[in-house]
Every structure is written in C-alpha cells, then in structure tokens.
Chains A and B, each alone.
Chain A
Amino acid sequence: MNMPVDEALNPSGSPTGLGHVAGDAVDISHGTILYLDDISVSFDGFKALNRLTLSVDVGELRCVIGPNGAGKTTMMDVITGSTRPDDGTAFFGQNIDLTRLTEPEIAHAGIGRKFQKPTVFENHTVFENLELAMKADKRVFASLRAQRTAAQLDRIVSTLETIDLLAQADLPAGLLSHGQKQWLEIGMLLMQEPQLLLLDEPVAGMTDEETAKTAQLLHSLAGQRSIVVVEHDMEFINEIAATVTVLHEGSVLAEGSMDVVQSDERVIEVYLGR
C-alpha cells in the first residue's frame, strides 16, 4: 500500500520521498543549507513574494524581520511546501528541490517548522508529543510495529530536560501554559533532528525569563543546526545577535548585522516607521 501512494504523490521521482527513510541526505558540501532564488508568489494579483532571493549558510542563525504583509510567512510556506512558488527555485542544500516535495517529505528531509501560534497535539501527553516527533521511520507499517528502544527513551527524556518539561511529561499538552507550549513545539522540532529550523515568533507570549532562556537555547543550537527566526521582538534579536534580513513587499530590503540594518535609511523609513 505504501508504494503507490508515494509514487503518485511524488511523480517527479525526486530523490527524497517518504519511501526512502535513510534516503539521500542533504548535500551541504558548498556550505549553504538554504537557497531561495528569484521566488515570486502572488495571490489573486497581490504579490506576496516578489523575486525574493535569500541564502542561509550551514550553522547560521538568521533573523528575518519586516512589517506585516512583507512576506515572512509566505516565505516559510514556500520553504516547507505549503505554497508553491509561481516562479523561482528553492533548494535545500545542493540537491533537494523544495518546490517538488510535499510537507511531510520536506520535514523528513530535515526542515523543522514552528508556527506562530504554537501547534502541539493537545490531547496527547507531552511525552507522546515528543515521541511522535522523534526521527524514525514514519510510514504506516513501521508505526504499527514500532517499539521504543532504550536509546530513544533516553533522547526523549533528555529533550524533556532541555525544554524543562520533565515534570509535566504525563500531562496532556493542552493543559500547558502558552510559553510551555512554545517550548514543547521547539522540543518537538529538536526530536526531528532537522538540519534547518524555521521558527515563527518563538518568544511571543513568553516572560522575560523564558525569552532569555530561549535565546540561550538557540545559541546552543546554532553551529550544529541552521536556524531561521522570524521575530518582531528587537530585544530578542539583539540578544541572539544574528544576521538580520529585512523583508519588504516580498523582497529583501537590507541584510547584515543588527547595527548595519538599523542604520539603513530605507529600513528606517519602511519598518522602524520614522
């Protein structure tokens, strides 16, 4: 039953179907993890992305900012396969064409996404949430036979510690506070062991303490994994001290360190509102 589904879903025969669990790994030999080139997306005449070009290096921590409607979420949608670009190319590493894969295939290839509004499995316990996200053979018949190994349990418990939810492990995720849900979602991304994390407003609704802790977590992750953060909280961006890309009307307006961007005239005009 597996094969026809995969083939039909993936008629292009691209190398990273769900049928290839250990399949072709992402090729990062050139030091670039994400490469968006000339991407355009329009919705009934409205240009959400306008010839956007952007690349992210391996191990980089990148912040994307921009006013509402600048195309941040649409950019995320293109990377994760929710929206197909009208034009342009999107590559994960050298070899994986993101415009031809479905969401689960892209997730499997190694891109994890956290949504603006935390999405976790509310009726499952925190533990189960992490276990479901864990990197594994995620096809039906593998899941039917799946048995948890000691190493896997150890990984889940370690992640529970990392996101500070060990005490809540048996609680349904729906009962967590907003900040805890944010962390659980980040924890789930970690369980997926992605090469690239896309985080949409990870500290929204968090206390200052939680925000600081999140910044710390991201710092510890950078280097091993590439991270793209969409954020409005300037303090947080300063804290994680990343390269900043400013989007405006669907294309890149400016790019560089926070200082460089903050002194850019055009940025001040469209974004900082002066």
Chain B
Amino acid sequence: MEDTGLGLWGVPLAIIGGAIRVSTPFIFVSLGETITERSGRINLGLEGTLVLGAMTAYAVAATTGSTWLGVLAAMFVGSIFGIVHGWICKFPKVNDIAIGIAMMQFGLGLAFFLGKPFIQPIAPKLPSIPLGAWSDTPQVEAALNINVLFFIGAALALVLFWAFRHTRIGLILRVVGDSTDAARAMGIQPDFVRLVATAIGGSLAAIGGAYLSLYYPGSWNEGISSGQGLMAIALVIFARWNPVGCFLAALLFGGAGALGPALQSVGVTQGYYLFYAAPYVLTLIILIMTSSPNRPLIGAPGALSLTKL
C-alpha cells in the first residue's frame, strides 16, 4: 500500500464522506415529502421537481453568477409544481398517485427541454465549510468540506420534528393528515392546507435538485439524477414520516452508496455489482424487520391514500 493512499482507512472515511456528500438531495426531498404526506397527500412527482429544480438552479446560477439566486429560483419553480399538484388533487375522484406520476414526467420533460442550452455553460458552485481544516490529511479535509445545504437540511429536520408536535401549524397539518372529516369539523380547510403542504414539499425537493447541479456532482445534464427523487419518497415510509428519521435514513443511504466505489478503490474488486445494491438490500431488510402483519404502519397519516389501498 502506498504511503500516499489511506489504505483500508479509506473505506470508513469514504462512507462518512459519501454519507455527507450524497445524502443532501435525499434529505431535502424526503423532508418535503414528509410535510406533504403528513397532510394526507402523496406526491410521487418529486423526481420531476428535483430534476426541474436542478435545471432551474443551474440555469439561473450560470446566467446571473449567483448560486443562491439559483436556489431561490429552484424553490419558486418547485413550489409552483407543488401548487399545480395540490390544485388538481383537490377535485373529487382525482388520484394523487396518478397525478404525481404525470407531474414527474412533465417535470422531467420540461427540464430536458428548457435545460438544453445550459448543458455546456459552467455555473458557479455553492459554498462549503472547510470543517476539515484542522487535519493535515488531504483526504480527511476533502471529506469534511461540507456544503451549507447539508447543515440547513439537518437543522430543518430538527425544526420540523419539533414543529409537528409543538406548534399550531404542525397540529393543523397532522389533523388534516389523519382525518379530513375531523379537520372540517374543526373549521380547517383540508384542501388549502394540503395545497400549501404540497407547495412547500415541492420547493424543498427543488433545493435537493439545486444541490445536485450546483454542488455535487455539480453539473447539469439530463442524467443528473439517478432516481434520487423516487428513492427519497421510499425513504419517507422507511423513516415512518419522522423528519429526524428521514435525515438519518438519508445519511445511511448516502453512506451505503459510497461503499461500492470505496471498496473497489482499496482493492476489494470482486462482486461490485453486489455492493452497488447495498442501499436497496439494506432498505428491504429494515422494512421487513420493522413491518408487522397485525398492525398498520406506525406513524402513517390516516388520510394518506397509501394506507387506504
């Protein structure tokens, strides 16, 4: 082993570094989806919103030179997409899952169409905080060079966790999500709450997209997302609609995803296709272990169409 490399220490470092680098889109999409699903709607279209957000952020950042303007623009576009979803779904007998899939395809198509001229230009990158400056090992420094959006995502998870329990808005959201009739009886308009919840969900998912195009891997092209938006929706169920759970699940997924390349880099080269399946195998195992045939999913909002099927 060369003294320049980290050897086997590279594996845990890659998992930690990978968890931080790769998890941010998962964090934002799953937090957004948690808000939407807690209100009793499911928005499967967030993959489209993610990619559209990635394109918008990149295009605006490349044109104006300001990455934060790019993030804001992405949030705006994402919330518009959420509002469209929420508005269509308020009509009777409209299935939110089907609308979500339609919105996903629409978002992808729109992003590819409008994003064509922005594949070649180079946009500035989002700033990161060099938390590894204390280390004289460049690998540790690089792994701990953490993007600000990661911290915002972590803080958001904690705030949401608290707000769902202890604020009036959080309680309204949960009432609407658990029982449409109870909410109506209380004088709350469920459709309006769900519209707002889907809009916020969309804007958060678009931030996840902005992270992809403006930080890591930091480029816009049509293959920028490899299904992160869809995986993040699965993460919400996996995390049982708990924001802190979403954050931890996102970290787990990021770390597991880094395992394949890291193992190959230290010479464990056989069977890499198997290592690449690690995040999915992990999900299956945990879902099976925590499921029960005798009771419904813990934490599932009662009005969610997912639980009524």
A and B associate: no
> Which residues of A pack against B, CB within 8 Å?
none
